[in-house]
Amino acid sequence: MKRTASGGGGKRALLGRSVSRVSVMGIVALCASVLLLVIRWDVWRELSALERTLTAGLVLLLIAAVVAGAGGQRKAASWRVRFDANPFAVGALAVLIAMVWMAVMAPLLVGVGPTELTSPSLTRYARPDLVHPMGTDRFGRDVWARVVYGGRASFGVCGLSVVLAALLGVVVGGVAGSAPRRVDDMLMRVVDGMLSFPRLLLLLAAVAFLPPGPVVLATIIAATSWMGVARIVRAEVRRMRGREFVEAAVAAGVGRARIVIHHILPNVMGHVVVAATLGAGTVILMESSLSFLGLGVQPPTPSWGSIVFEGRDALATAWWVSAFPALAITLAVISLNVIGDGIRDALDARIPSKR
């Protein structure tokens, strides 16, 4: 794979400014959002305040991505430029953004609801066609609508738990890395202990004792997936404690907590983002496994794992019911892995990628 430090292709230009591939993606998604809003204005007006906030938030995020992508072009050695030059990573990001976008825009994008029955007797287990691009399930519900809405549950639980896990990991790792030896030892033994449980068993045990619900689910998943980040942050904090800029801060009389938060953590965030992105793929799989076992997102709310489960009886006759949600899981997990690897390679320019 050819990669140059100044890659990123300065050839693409918009209104006289060179833009990155990520920016182009952001612009495309932004245009699609606006177009969808205009076409489906009547649907938008019916939406609840929460739905509108969610959609507006995504649009703002896309604008931010465009601005950030365009700004990154100025510094040639920036990691954003190197990320932009990696076609696999950019492609994976495009797939992921498209999937998240579809999940957020679900009500505008899909005409029927995920639990709506479409004249049952006629369209049970209908093959994929123009009306139902992914066919219908045993109740005559549109699988395409279910997969798009299922993305909301899957990405929502995943996003919330990844953020929570990263926060917890940073706090525990930061404390362990900067605290006295005894506290450090204690915290790391807890990490070792948590890592000794097979994660799915630990999740199942926690699910068994807590009331079901998406927020509880995300919290439980976060509670079983912060250990990797904690280890990374601790190791990095330990490593950086000997660096000159930290010693300079100590000499200047800056407090320990302030040193960690203001001087060390900003340098660790890259590792945290990589670990969180790679971990997000595992979280998607975990959530789908739990939903598949009937212990994750509860019906009638669709989630990819539970749609696969519902299609299991008809696998030989109606492959489409479970094939499409399984494909969605696979695509999301592959994308997250490739993006995570891409960010790591981009951040760590000196070490050539082993892949």
Partner 1 sequence: MIQYLARRTLHAIILVAITLTISFAILHLAPGDPLVRFVGAGVDPADIERVRRSLGLDERLPVQYARWVGGVIRGDFGTSLAQNRPVRDMLADAVPRTILLTLLALGVQMSLGIWAGAAAARRRHARADRFLSFLTVALYAIPPFYLAYLLMTWLAIDRHWLPTSGIATPGLDAGGVAMLADRARHLLMPVLVLGVASAAGFARYARGSLIDALGEDFVRTARAKGLPEGTVVWRHAFRSSLGTLITVTGLSAPFLIGGAVIVETVFAWPGMGSLMVASIYARDYPVVLAVNMLGALFVIAGNLLADVGSAWADPRAGHPETGRE
274 lines the binding site for partner 1 (CB under 8 A): no
Number of residues that bind partner 1 (CB under 8 A): 46
The two beta strands, 13-14 and 17-18, are antiparallel
Question: 3-state class of 348 per DSSP?
Answer: coil
238 neighbors 177 (Cβ within 8 angstroms): yes
Cα separation of the two ends of the chain = 10
Asked whether position 183 contacts partner 1 by CB under 8 A, the answer is no
Alpha carbon of residue 45 to chain centroid: 29
Q: Of residues 192, 213, 248, 256, which one binds partner 1 by CB under 8 A?
A: 192
Contacts of 52 (CB under 8 A, 6+ apart): 44
Residue 18 DSSP SS3: strand
Phi, psi of 14 (to 5 degrees): -140, 125
Q: Which is nearer to partner 1, 6 or 330 (CB)?
A: 330
- Kindly state whether residue 37 participates in binding partner 1, applying the rule CB under 8 A: no
User: Distance between CA atoms of 156 and 284, rounded to whole angstroms?
Assistant: 10
Q: Which of residues 289-308 bind partner 1 (CB under 8 A)?
A: 289, 292-295, 305, 308
Q: Per CB under 8 A, does 322 bind partner 1?
A: yes
Nearer of residues 119 and 317 to partner 1, judged by Cβ: 317
Of 105 and 286, CB closest to partner 1: 286
Residue 205 is a binding residue for partner 1 (CB under 8 A): yes
Q: Is 329 in the site for partner 1 (CB under 8 A)?
A: yes
Asked if 6 is part of the footprint of partner 1 (rule: CB under 8 A), the reply reads no
Under 8 Å between Cβ of 308 and 324: no
Tokens (6 digits) for 243: 């660096």
Taking alpha carbons only, the member of 62, 58, 82, 87 closest to residue 72 is: 82
Minimum Å gap between C-beta 201 and partner 1 is 4
Q: Are 170 and 136 in contact (CB under 8 A)?
A: no
Cα gap 94→22, rounded to integer Å: 8
202 binds partner 1 (CB under 8 A): yes
Which stretch in 22-30, 48-56, 136-144, 205-213 sits in contact with partner 1 by CB under 8 A? 205-213
Does the protein bind partner 1 through residue 288 (CB under 8 A)?
yes
193 in contact with partner 1 (CB under 8 A): yes
Q: For residues 291 and 305, is the Cβ–Cβ distance under 8 A?
A: yes
Tell me which residue has tokens 């800056």. 254
Among the residue ranges 119-127, 139-147, 227-235, 283-291, the one whose residues contact partner 1 (CB under 8 A): 283-291
Q: Which is nearer to partner 1, 49 or 316 (CB)?
A: 316
Q: What is the nearest approach in angstroms of partner 1 to the Cβ of residue 194?
A: 7
Least separation, in Å, of the C-beta of 2 and partner 1?
12
100 part of the interface to partner 1, by CB under 8 A: no
DSSP class of residue 302?
-
Does 78 contact partner 1 by CB under 8 A?
no
Binding mask 209-238 for partner 1 (x = CB under 8 A): xxx---------------------------
Nearest to 70 by CA among 147, 2, 18, 123: 18
Give the residue carrying structure tokens 């209104």.
Answer: 15
Structure tokens at 28: 């495309």
Task: Report the interface residues with partner 1, using CB under 8 A.
Answer: 189-190, 192-202, 204-211, 281, 285, 288-289, 292-295, 305, 308-309, 312, 315-316, 322, 326, 329-331, 333-334, 337-338, 354-355
